[in-house]
């Protein structure tokens, strides 16, 4: 399998190089071409107790896997018997939490061997990984961009945290307990999960709808939700950020565009206006932090890690996380997943390349897998499927709503391989 993998990967690298030259007009310097990649690590076991970790480097425009690496601890040899020597059962000594950083350092360190430089890194906010590789080609030579979907989840996380931590002291006025003070959580009934999801979706939609435009417009759309829902029954200045026109979601702006009386359009106050003063200040601080220009500039291109998440799902569907698997097995399946993603089940099959066991039924199954992959990638998951997957993952995995799929959101540009008409962007919606 290693020889098959080594033989096919240069075709991917040549395709990416040709795309940057012909489509983006990027010329190589000393046969080295700078590209933009997304990187994310994944562990064989949830939490920082895993013996194995995996990292994929995905080119953001084509969606092709450029490089990948599996590292792991040796759990077979007697304690400390293999030391720092090369061991067939593992190639890493250290804490499990440092595996993702170590993978990134190795992948960036060998990038020039592939005639690439990874000058832009799309990350999920992991500062330790970026700090380890930012000076690979010189001082701060690697630029960090944020995954738009991961940034969008921060709104839900912070609002839910505020609802569970904001407290007030209430004094009893009854005869028996007069003067006694108790601690209450007034936001728990106001900031329910459905309400928080709505504001989180507003935030994600504001980011996606302003991709490729000025950051000021994105910032204005984000702050519009806060000011709109901070309005009292009739306070026109709170709707200055809301989008104008007859198609506006703001009733005040819609009434103005239609020539109606805006005071009749707004009959109830916004939810934030009913909060205690201190809580309203905390919400304002959350919106101020998440609309910071420095943060939004990193989301301006709209790059995401959907392909990386899809690859993680494909890999761990072959090796279950709740069971132990050896290092060699994970390395083998990582290569299989890479070829399957880049070339398709039929073209990337080792049996097909050797001509061994490729019966008509085998080819039919492989082609069905390819067509099914395209079909699933074009479908949005149903709410029931999302809830079942969330329950299956468990509380140790990252919380947050699924990525909002906006119409017109630019996904990766499909680039067909010379040998077949398979586009790698088929996997972006999976996982």
pLDDT given at position 33: 92
At which residue do the structure tokens 């007034």 appear? 186
pLDDT given at position 341: 80
pLDDT given at position 360: 63
* Percent of the chain with pLDDT strictly greater than 70: 70
At which residue do the structure tokens 């890690």 appear? 305
Read off the pLDDT of each residue in 29-40 and give the average, rounded to a whole number. Answer: 91
User: Confidence band (pLDDT; 50, 70, 90) for 426?
Assistant: very low
What average pLDDT is seen over the chain?
75
pLDDT exceeds cutoff 60 at 317 = yes
pLDDT given at position 78: 56
SS3 226: helix
Please give the structure tokens belonging to residue 108. Answer: 């960036």
pLDDT given at position 428: 39
Q: How many CB atoms lie within 10 A of CB 209?
A: 16
Read off the pLDDT of each residue in 360-382 and give the average, rounded to a whole number. Answer: 57
Q: Across the chain, which distance is largest between two alpha carbons, in Å?
A: 89
Identify the residue with better confidence: 354 or 192: 192
Weakest mean pLDDT among 93-97, 140-144, 200-204: 93-97
pLDDT exceeds cutoff 50 at 407 = no
User: Confidence band (pLDDT; 50, 70, 90) for 118?
Assistant: very high
Q: How far apart are CA 310 and CA 305, in angstroms?
A: 9
pLDDT given at position 425: 38
pLDDT given at position 237: 76
Give the pLDDT confidence of 163-182 residue by residue, as tens digits. Answer: 888 887 776 666 666 666 66
How much is the pTM?
A: 0.72
Q: How many CB atoms lie within 10 A of CB 1?
A: 12
Weakest mean pLDDT among 32-36, 65-69, 251-255, 291-295: 251-255
Please give the structure tokens belonging to residue 296. Answer: 């939004």
Q: How many CB atoms lie within 10 A of CB 237?
A: 8
User: Confidence band (pLDDT; 50, 70, 90) for 362?
Assistant: low
Q: What is the DSSP string of 109-149?
A: HTGGGGTEEEEEEEESS-HHHHHHHTTTTSTT-SEEEE-HH
Q: How far apart are CA 209 and CA 203, in angstroms?
A: 10
Q: From 59, 48, 46, 44, select the one nearest 12 (Cα to Cα).
A: 59
Identify the residue with better confidence: 36 or 187: 36
pLDDT exceeds cutoff 70 at 308 = yes
pLDDT exceeds cutoff 70 at 368 = no
Q: Which residues lie closer than 8 Å to 193 by C-beta, 6 or more apart?
A: 160
**Which H, E and C letters describe 238-300, residue by residue?**
HHCCCCCCCCCCCHHHHHHHCCCCHHHHCCCCCHHHHCCHHHHHHHHHHHHHHCCHHHHHCCC
User: Confidence band (pLDDT; 50, 70, 90) for 139?
Assistant: confident
Weakest mean pLDDT among 41-45, 309-313, 375-379, 380-384: 380-384
In terms of average pLDDT, the best of 75-84, 257-266, 363-372, 380-389 is 257-266
Identify the residue with better confidence: 83 or 5: 5
Q: What is the DSSP string of 38-103?
A: EEEEEESSSSTT-SEEEEEEEETTT--EEEEEEEE---SSSTTTSTTS-BTTB---S-GGGHHHHH
Helix axis angle for 2-22 and 327-343, nearest 10°, is 40
pLDDT given at position 37: 93
pLDDT given at position 275: 84
pLDDT exceeds cutoff 70 at 373 = no
Q: How far apart are CA 300 and CA 116, in angstroms?
A: 24
């Amino acid at each position: 399998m290693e020889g098959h993998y080594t033989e096919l990967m240069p075709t991917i690298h040549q395709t990416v190089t040709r795309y940057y030259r012909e489509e983006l007009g990027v010329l190589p310097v000393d046969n080295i071409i700078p590209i933009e990649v997304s990187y994310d690590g994944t562990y064989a076991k949830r939490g920082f107790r895993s013996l194995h970790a995996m990292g994929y480097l995905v080119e953001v425009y084509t969606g092709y896997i450029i490089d990948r690496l599996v590292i792991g601890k040796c759990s077979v040899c007697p304690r400390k018997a293999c030391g720092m020597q090369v061991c067939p059962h593992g190639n890493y000594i250290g804490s499990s939490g440092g595996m993702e950083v170590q993978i990134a350092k190795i992948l960036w360190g060998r990038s020039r061997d592939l005639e690439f430089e990874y000058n832009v890194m799309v990350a999920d906010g992991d500062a330790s990984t970026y700090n380890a590789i930012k000076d690979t080609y010189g001082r701060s030579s690697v630029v960090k961009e944020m995954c738009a979907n991961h940034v969008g989840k921060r709104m839900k996380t912070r609002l839910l945290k505020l609802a569970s931590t904001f407290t007030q002291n209430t004094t009893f006025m009854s005869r028996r307990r007069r003067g006694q003070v108790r601690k209450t959580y007034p936001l728990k009934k106001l900031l329910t999960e459905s309400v928080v999801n709505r504001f989180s979706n507003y935030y994600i939609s504001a980011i996606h709808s302003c991709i490729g435009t000025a950051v000021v417009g994105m910032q204005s759309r984000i702050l519009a939700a806060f000011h709109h829902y901070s309005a009292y029954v009739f306070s026109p200045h709170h709707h200055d950020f809301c989008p104008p026109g007859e198609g506006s979601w703001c009733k005040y702006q819609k009434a103005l565009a239609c020539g109606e009386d805006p005071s009749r359009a707004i009959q109830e106050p916004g939810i934030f206006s009913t909060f205690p003063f201190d809580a309203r200040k905390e919400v304002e601080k959350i919106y101020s932090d998440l609309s910071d220009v420095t943060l939004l500039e990193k989301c301006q291109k709209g790059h995401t890690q959907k392909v990386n998440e899809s690859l993680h799902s494909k890999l761990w569907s072959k090796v279950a996380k709740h069971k132990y698997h050896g290092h060699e097995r994970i390395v083998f399946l990582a290569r299989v997943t890479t070829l399957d993603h880049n070339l398709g089940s039929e073209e990337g099959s080792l049996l097909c390349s050797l001509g061994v066991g490729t019966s008509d039924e085998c080819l039919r199954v492989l082609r069905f897998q390819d067509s099914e992959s395209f079909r699933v990638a074009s479908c949005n998951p149903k709410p029931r499927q999302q809830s079942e997957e969330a329950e299956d993952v468990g509380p140790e995995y990252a919380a947050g709503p699924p990525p909002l799929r906006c119409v017109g959101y630019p996904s990766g540009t499909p680039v067909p391989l010379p040998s077949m008409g398979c586009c790698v962007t088929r996997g972006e919606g999976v996982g």
